Amino acid sequence: MERSTSLYRIADRAAFIALTLTFLLGTPALSLLLILFGAPFTTHTAHTVLCAAHMALLTVTPLVYVHGVDSPIWKQIWALARPADAVWGGALGACVGAWLGAVPIPLD
């Protein structure tokens, strides 16, 4: 019984670290990326930041939870030297889906 309790504590810590890094690092980085891709910078700042937080929750949290915070692993991920897994595919799918979903907005 003692061992399973310690495993839950480790999982809780990993989830807390993933959520913390998501909001501290992922949200500002994705906000900047959204602004570079044309999101409003001066008029709808709160909407842009909330969109970035939502995308960070969908993309960054699973990546940090699965791959941890090891620097060599992240270098391999960003260099595309590591084989793509389901978590990376989900993050890529969320970003591509958000980008393609914004295509018909000017047609409205």
- The DSSP result for 49-68, as a single string, is HHHHHHHHHHHHHHHHHHHT
pLDDT-derived band of residue 4, with 50, 70 and 90 as boundaries? Answer: low
Q: Which long-range contacts (CB under 8 A, 24 or more apart) does 51-54 make?
A: 52/26, 52/27, 52/28, 53/23, 53/27
Closest CA to 102 of 51, 58, 49, 46: 51
Q: How do residues 18-73 score in pLDDT, each as one tens digit?
A: 888 888 988 999 999 999 988 888 999 999 999 999 999 999 888 888 888 888 98
| 3-class DSSP state of 48 | helix
Alpha helices in the chain (DSSP H): 2-21, 27-36, 45-67, 71-78, 86-101
Judged against a pLDDT cut of 90, whether residue 83 lies above it is answered with no
